[in-house]
A and B are shown apart, each in its own frame.
Chain A
């Protein structure tokens, strides 16, 4: 069974940093692109970032470019999101979402999400 499980969320002060992790199981991790998608409280879905299966290609939403870094460790089946210079607008549930192939535009499995709250 395909599973992805996020961790690392919590309360952080404005300007602070946080690293999210997503551990995967039930599939060949390195064969699939992985994404982060977030959802602010009571709001819709916002795609944040994607990394290709091999890790060589990454893209970001303009709202996080230059502040967030996506990475992966295929030997540990783990996806990461390093978040720096956090602001209140980054408060959201962050979902890890599996792509359907090495590089794809849809998300066929999602984790349960981890809540990031940016507040003083």
Chain B
């Protein structure tokens, strides 16, 4: 299953609302997960099964979607949110990731 993220990068300011989209090449129900990777660090789980917030993840992160189209929204961008975000399908093996969206400071 191919995962396509858009945009590949974006520039935004602190306080902005940011939306990242992820599209699967076939229906994956709600088996879609989002990860954040800060520079030089391991990825961290943000959202699982499309819309469930991982324990400890800030509430400004939210996810939605089902089937083939999904979104990750950051309601008010904070300095620590500048990172790369990856979507990943957990519907069928091989698990596959999107190519990432780099969120940069404007």
Interface residues of A (CB under 8 A from B): 35, 37, 44-47, 50, 59, 61-62, 95, 100, 104-113
Can you report 16 residue pairs joining A to B where beta carbons are below 8 Å apart? Answer: A37-B43, A44-B86, A45-B35, A46-B97, A47-B96, A59-B93, A95-B42, A100-B48, A104-B90, A105-B95, A107-B43, A110-B42, A111-B42, A112-B41, A112-B42, A113-B42
> A-facing mask of B86-106, CB < 8 A → 1, else 0?
101111011111111000000
Is the CB–CB distance between A105 and B43 below 8 Å? no
New A-B pairs, 20, CB < 8 Å, besides A45-B35, A46-B97, A108-B48: A37-B43, A44-B100, A45-B88, A45-B97, A47-B96, A59-B93, A59-B94, A100-B48, A105-B89, A105-B91, A106-B88, A106-B90, A107-B35, A107-B88, A108-B45, A108-B54, A110-B43, A110-B44, A111-B42, A112-B42
Partner of B97, one of A44, A108, A111: A44
By beta carbon, the residue of chain B nearest A107 is B45
Contact residues of A: prevailing secondary structure:
strand
Instruction: Say yes or no: A47-B95 contact (C-beta < 8 A), given A105-B89, A106-B90.
Output: yes
Residues in B with CB closer than 8 Å to A37 are 43
Q: How far is the CB of A92 from chain B (nearest CB, A)?
A: 13
By beta carbon, the residue of chain A nearest B96 is A47
How far apart are the CA atoms of A102 and B52 in the complex, in Å? 19
How far apart are the CA atoms of A47 and B5 in the complex, in Å? 17
Instruction: Give the contacts of B40-60 with A (CB-CB under 8 A).
Output: 41-45, 48-49, 54
Residues in B with CB closer than 8 Å to A108 are 45, 48, 54
By beta carbon, the residue of chain A nearest B31 is A105
Is the CB–CB distance between A106 and B97 below 8 Å? no
